[in-house]
Amino acid sequence: LDSAHEEGEVLLELELAWKTVAPGGIVFGDDWVLGDGAVRRDLLRFVSAHAGELDDDFGRSAEAWGRVLGRVQRGLFLSYNSIQFFMRKLP
């Protein structure tokens, strides 16, 4: 997901994308640390609203890729210089 980077737009795009993701599917996005923080704020809102649908174990299995830097919140992980984020819908 490469969003519009405007507050509210990011959340809308995440909601629309999430509806199309099959169970077990992954959403990747970028610009976690860039701009005025709109991406980060809307992403955290989204994750809070969908916490019960996120696979919190996925980040641990993804560590084998060598790019997982950390877990931000339940089900939300950062990778590659903290710019990209990813989350997986529970299977």
Write down the pLDDT at residue 75: 93
Residues making up the chain, counted from first to last: 91
Q: What's this model's pTM, rounded to 2 decimal places?
A: 0.87
Write down the pLDDT at residue 81: 65
What would the two tokens of residue 58 be? 């996925």
Secondary structure of 9-53 in HEC code, one letter for each residue: HHHHHHHHHHHHCCCCCEEEECCCCCCCCHHHHHHHHHHHHCHHH
Q: What distance lies between CA 83 and its chain's CA centroid?
A: 11
Q: pLDDT tens across 11-64, in order? A: 999 999 999 999 999 999 888 887 788 889 999 999 999 999 999 988 777 766
